[in-house]
Amino acid sequence: MLTLKVEGMSCDHCKKTITQAIHTVDAEAGVQVDIAQGIVNIQSRAAVEAIKSAITESGYEVMNSATTVIH
């Protein structure tokens, strides 16, 4: 599981946009967006940098604090 700190999220539209951006990189990815905490949990086999780029290209800022946990 990859957890990213993402700035700029404020509503359900943001949640949908980020989820769609991640799904362009990995259509099978599991995505959980927590707007209140400003974090996105992602379960994917895609490269971390590709996921970060997709989120950034959607207009959000991915902070450097990311945690990857392999289950």
pLDDT in tens, the chain (71 residues): 899 999 999 999 999 999 999 999 999 999 999 999 999 999 999 999 999 999 999 999 998 655 555 54
Q: What is the pLDDT of residue 71?
A: 45
pLDDT at 5: 94
Report the distance separating Cα 6 and Cα 28, nearest Å.
Answer: 21
- pLDDT for the residue 36: 94
State the CB neighbour count (10 A cutoff) for residue 49.
9
Give strand pairing partners of 42.
2, 31
List domains and CATH numbers for the chain. 2-68 (3.30.70.100)
- The pLDDT assigned to 65 comes to 58
